[in-house]
Structure 1
Amino acid sequence: MIDIHSHILPGVDDGAESTADSIAMAKVAQSEGINTIYATPHHLNGRYDTEPKVIEEKVHNLNEEFKKLNINLTVLEGQEIRINGEVHEDLQNGSAISLGNQSIYTLIEFPSSHIPQFSKYTIYDLQRDGYLPIIAHPERNAGISNHPNTLYRLVKRGALSQLTAASVAGHFGKKIQKLCFKLIEANLVHFIASDAHNTDSRGFFMEEAFDVIEKRYGYGLVEQFKENAHAVMTNEMVIADPPVEIKKKGLLNIF
């Protein structure tokens, strides 16, 4: 299994604080069947800005440490990039990196309170430059929670999205879990990832999330999400059914 979103790198953001924490996270990830994990520290989110060189060095060191401990987990480079008007320029000049550092897939984070009006233009700019933006944890964004078709319009424009496993499993509450189901049923979700920060309060929950999805939608959808994560690693196109507008009385469309 491949996890495209985690904060397993030690000492760079609000994830693992030490190598010991990273090792503990790796053991839990391995126990859940994860064999490849993208380290995606925050980039320009107002608190953290981890340089690509630091990510490269820490990913190398962590992989070496896991080998010594016989932990069967490969860490790949990435970033969770806070959306801004210069994301495409940052990727072009190397101050920000895509998933795997060489792939077409970029993990994009919105502010938790809203979707910036310029987002649709940034999504266009990224695709124009050959990237495929993946919107991280849309179910935890207030703008999308209040107006789900905001995500529909972004996906219709070519964006992809990734739900947090803990959200699908219900660990962020029933309201967020219900929104996850609505987004899945509208073909607005392409990945399930952990966004793990530690081994307890912000853990992996990947197995639990896929169990929920299998019981509700069948194993075929579980396989589709797993294949999409593999497509990121091989730099191939994901499986994406046409998005469906979410019908809601009185819904205001922002975009």
Structure 2
Amino acid sequence: MSFLSQLLSYLLPILYLAVLFVYYRIYFKNERKYEDKTKIILLALLIVHGIEIVLRQLFLKAMPLSSAFDALSFLGFSILLVYYIIENTFENRASGFFILLVAFSPVLVSAFQHDWQAEHNPLLSNPTFTIHASLNIIGYTALAISAIYALLYLIQYRNIKKKRFNKIFDQLPPLAYLENMSKRSVLIGIVLMGIGILLGHLQTQKAFGQFFYSDPKVIITDLIWMAYFVVYLAAKFRNWSARIMAYLSIAGFIVLMVGMALVLTLGRSFHEFY
């Protein structure tokens, strides 16, 4: 099992690079013959990466997030998963190269840095905690992808307004697609993070006897999730413009990153594993 898991870990960057090359041909070379094959290609890559994650979890007897490099690998998987959902929802592949380029980077960094020592932290072996952490990471990833789509929207909007076109951005999806992709990514992030946060609170209730635990990461995560939820509802019922939503998506993700950076550098948390 260890050998197969290691083999898949080393193969993953090559497989991601191959898929990235397919999307490069679609976007920059306008080779449409690949477009009807992307669904099965992405699904196959998701399955292979998922098998690698499961094998590592079985071997380490803990969730594959117990080290920084495991977390990077799972981040790449999360980006791929969210993009797969978005592409299948909107049937548009024009943003695939940019999103998959982001996914490839953490997978490449993590591939040759894995620790193969069995994990002894009992919390990391808890199935509820595993699901909680995994859903939160995928949720964060969806919010990041929403910010990327929002940025692409603003770039495309400015190019159209100034009648300025170039080869790189000329192939981007229409503004309406970018707007809806960003909104759908936010919705995915809100739903998955909401479930993950609830499971986390249930876990702290069981472990510490209280539903709300005074932990910096918990407080920051709860506040940011509530902010995204309130803004999403306000935008939906007040019909805010796509440009306002794009700016809010980018600003929200910046606040999220700054908040987490402050927690990691200034505060201690029971979430610290490595």
TM-score bracket for the superposition, by shorter chain length: under 0.3
Q: Rg bigger for which structure?
A: 2
Q: Give the TM-score taking structure 2 as reference length.
A: 0.26
Q: Give the TM-score taking structure 1 as reference length.
A: 0.28
Higher strand proportion (structure 1 or 2)? 1
Higher helix proportion (structure 1 or 2)? 2
